[in-house]
């Protein structure tokens, strides 16, 4: 297959949502339809022994939530599909924001009973900022749900994007019968009684002819009326508007019961963009360029705790990545070969010899990589837009076991390289400070330190407002500020000065008294 065709058949997308909207369940069913797994796992269930494929970390299995982005790739109908299942919980949003820099499109999952929720709005802001095309999947129609028109209006208002329904639900809750596929003009009724396996479907080509009425009574007339209203009230599908992120196709269904998932997947593969341009500081890189380029958007330590491996996730932006070929690491200027690059199915890995734009490759890392690092065939490029946000919660971290000092230091170093949290060292007393965007991350760090590194830590409270990175054209003013605020100054992992503001008032006073210093709340790696 030609290089261009390999690119055009790739679909790399993220699945995002508010917690508990059914994002990981939808991922499982997409994998099931793609033949990547035989039985779908459950996110939370005492009755179902099979866990979700994407929730592979021990703490994810225990808590029933995703705390790290999972990467899964599979072949389906001639397409190479790369799914990135992201954490929905706001405490792990930073991982999701970084992941959105590595995808070409997004599927947003919304709970049909709740509509658009707070975290979904924040994630949509990131998509809008990047002009990432989005498809909306309204999930859990098998439970009592809001009216479809009410849901569509909610999506338009809250996500600030025009919508175009491409499927329509037949009732909801206990009466839910399936979905009508507007995009293909087909009726699909799934008949499987086993929610974890694929069932068959009944397809009727003309919903208005009456031949489908017997399958969907007593909802036939109501469905026809709603379809006519939807046709009149919402714009027809326009792929160019979808690709420019000004129109969001909407699908209805129930991921748990396999309703509407195949319609979503088939349409998505047809309309979603293949890998395109990526912005670097130096220039715009097109995916069909011959020279390989890629960037690290995620680092994960101990995916296999038995081997203490550390993997850098690289999004390929252009050219062909080849095993055992030397590539330039832009930040260090060194050439590096990779003997065992891997493709992913969550924590399961397989060696790959070649990978194309849109693919995600795992590279074994001994501490060489940081998030945002760029690899090329020799050109000095630096990809941008992999942000680190100012933490909002802070704790002093102390060693709880004097015999495990090295393990604690190594664990903190690895976990903060992942972006799970940020590590600061106070310039006055040398104490280590962990900063996170959500309090649940402290529990994750403590759990992983204990179970993956055999290290015990304890936290001490620390009341801070923000961590601010600084830049100034006045060296004397910067030195004066650092001297006056020594007890509030820290170094980050890259040795940069960080001001730890105790309150909003303290920050505003610093900005007022030192006008030549700029305080930043986002640090791009």
pLDDT of residue 51 exceeding 80: no
pLDDT of residue 224 exceeding 60: yes
Joined tokens for residue 157: 């208002």
For 230, counting Cβ atoms within 10 Å of its Cβ (0-12 exposed, 13-18 middle, 19+ buried), the class is middle
Joined tokens for residue 62: 């225990």
CATH of 3-271, one of 3.40.50.2300, 3.40.50.300, 3.30.465.10, 1.20.1070.10: 3.40.50.300
Q: How many CB atoms lie within 10 A of CB 100?
A: 23
pLDDT of residue 180 exceeding 80: yes
Chain centroid to CA 318: 21
Q: How many CB atoms lie within 10 A of CB 55?
A: 29
The per-residue pLDDT for range 308-338, each reduced to its tens digit, is: 677 888 999 999 999 999 999 999 999 999 9
Residues with Cβ within 8 Å of residue 509, at least 6 apart in sequence: none
pLDDT value, residue 343: 83
Domain boundaries, the chain: 3-271, 278-376, 390-524
pLDDT value, residue 47: 32
Instruction: Give the separation between CA 342 and CA 351, rounded to whole angstroms.
Output: 4
Strand partners, 376: 293, 328
Tell me which of 142-146, 164-168, 338-342, 349-353 is least confident.
Answer: 349-353
Residue 501: strand, helix, or coil: strand
469: phi then psi, degrees, rounded to nearest 5: -80, 150
Domain covering 278-376, topology = Rossmann fold (3.40.50)
Contact criterion met (CB below 8 Å) for 8 and 119: no
399: phi then psi, degrees, rounded to nearest 5: -75, 125
345: phi then psi, degrees, rounded to nearest 5: -135, 85
Domains 3-271 and 390-524 share a fold: no
CATH of 390-524, one of 3.30.390.30, 3.30.460.10, 3.30.70.3280, 3.90.1150.10: 3.30.70.3280
The DSSP letter of residue 484 is H
Cα–Cα nearest to 317, from 349, 352, 288: 288
Contact criterion met (CB below 8 Å) for 290 and 357: no
Cα distances from 104 to residues 12, 127, 148, 176, 438, in angstroms, run: 6, 10, 28, 33, 27
Given the structure tokens 């705790």, which residue do they identify? 305
Cα distances from 446 to residues 60, 394, 398, 418, 454, in angstroms, run: 14, 14, 11, 15, 10
Alpha helices in 339-469 (DSSP H): 405-418, 440-453
* Helix 23-33 and helix 261-271, axial crossing angle in degrees, nearest 10: 80
Contact criterion met (CB below 8 Å) for 432 and 424: yes
Number of Cα atoms under 13 Å in the Cβ half of residue 422: 33
pTM greater than 0.85 (yes/no):
no
Cα–Cα nearest to 27, from 78, 71, 59: 71
Residue 20: strand, helix, or coil: coil
Cα–Cα nearest to 404, from 456, 451, 443, 367: 456
The per-residue pLDDT for range 264-318, each reduced to its tens digit, is: 999 999 999 999 999 899 999 999 999 999 999 888 776 665 656 778 889 999 9
pLDDT value, residue 459: 95
Residue 516: strand, helix, or coil: coil
pLDDT value, residue 31: 83
Alpha helices in 217-260 (DSSP H): 220-233, 239-243
Sign of the CA dihedral 359, 360, 361, 366?
positive
164 pLDDT tier (thresholds 50, 70, 90): very high
Instruction: Give the H/E segment covering residue 16.
Output: strand 10-17
124 pLDDT tier (thresholds 50, 70, 90): confident
Apex 161 CA angle, 252 and 269, nearest 5:
50
Contact criterion met (CB below 8 Å) for 521 and 466: yes
The per-residue pLDDT for range 467-508, each reduced to its tens digit, is: 999 998 899 999 999 999 999 999 998 899 999 999 999 999
């Amino acid at each position: 297959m030609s290089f261009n065709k390999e690119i055009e058949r790739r679909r790399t997308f993220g699945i995002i949502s508010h917690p508990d909207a059914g994002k990981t369940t939808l991922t499982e069913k997409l994998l099931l339809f793609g033949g990547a797994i035989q039985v779908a796992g459950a996110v939370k269930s005492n009755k179902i022994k099979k866990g979700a494929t994407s929730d592979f970390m021990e703490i994810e299995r225990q808590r029933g939530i995703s705390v790290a982005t999972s990467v899964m790739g599979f072949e389906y109908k001639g397409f190479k599909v790369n799914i990135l299942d992201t954490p929905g919980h706001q405490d792990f949003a930073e991982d999701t924001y970084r992941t959105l820099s590595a995808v070409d499109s997004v599927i947003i999952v919304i709970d049909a009973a709740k509509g658009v929720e707070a975290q979904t709005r924040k994630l949509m802001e990131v998509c809008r900022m990047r002009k990432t095309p989005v498809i909306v999947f309204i999930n859990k129609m098998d439970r009592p749900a809001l009216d479809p028109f009410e849901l569509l209006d909610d999506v338009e208002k809250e996500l600030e994007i025009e919508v175009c329904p491409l499927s329509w639900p037949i009732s909801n809750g206990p009466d839910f019968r399936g979905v009508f596929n507007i995009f293909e003009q087909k009726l699909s009724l799934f008949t499987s009684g086993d929610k974890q396996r694929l069932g068959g479907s009944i397809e009727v080509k003309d919903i208005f002819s009456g031949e489908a009425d017997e399958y969907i009574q007593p909802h036939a007339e109501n469905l026809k009326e709603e379809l006519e209203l939807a046709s009149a009230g919402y714009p027809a599908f326009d792929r160019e508007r979808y690709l420019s992120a000004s129109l969001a196709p909407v699908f209805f269904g129930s991921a748990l019961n396999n309703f509407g998932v195949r319609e979503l997947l088939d349409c998505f593969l047809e309309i979603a963009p293949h890998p395109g341009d990526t912005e670097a500081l130096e220039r715009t890189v097109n995916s069909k360029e011959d020279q390989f380029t890629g960037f690290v958007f995620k680092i994960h330590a101990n995916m296999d705790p038995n081997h203490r491996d550390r993997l850098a996730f690289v999004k390929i932006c252009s050219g062909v990545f080849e095993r055992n070929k030397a590539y330039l690491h832009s930040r260090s200027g060194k050439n590096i070969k990779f003997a065992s690059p891997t493709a992913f199915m969550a924590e399961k890995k397989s060696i790959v010899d070649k990978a194309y734009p849109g693919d995600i490759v795992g590279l074994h890392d001994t501490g060489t990589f940081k998030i945002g690092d760029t690899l090329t065939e020799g050109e000095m490029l630096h990809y941008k837009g992999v942000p680190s946000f100012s933490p909002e919660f802070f704790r002093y971290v102390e060693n709880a076991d004097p015999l495990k000092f090295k393990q604690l230091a190594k664990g903190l170093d690895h976990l903060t390289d992942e972006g799970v949290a940020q590590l600061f060292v106070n310039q006055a007393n040398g104490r280590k400070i962990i900063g996170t965007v959500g309090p649940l991350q402290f529990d994750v760090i403590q759990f992983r330190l204990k179970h993956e590194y055999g290290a015990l830590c304890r936290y001490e409270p620390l009341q801070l407002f923000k961590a601010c990175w600084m830049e100034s054209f006045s060296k004397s003013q910067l030195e004066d500020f650092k001297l006056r605020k020594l007890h509030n100054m820290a170094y980050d992992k890259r040795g940069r000065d960080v001001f730890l503001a105790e309150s909003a008032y303290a920050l505003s006073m610093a900005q007022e008294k030192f006008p030549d210093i700029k305080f930043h709340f986002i640090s791009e790696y």
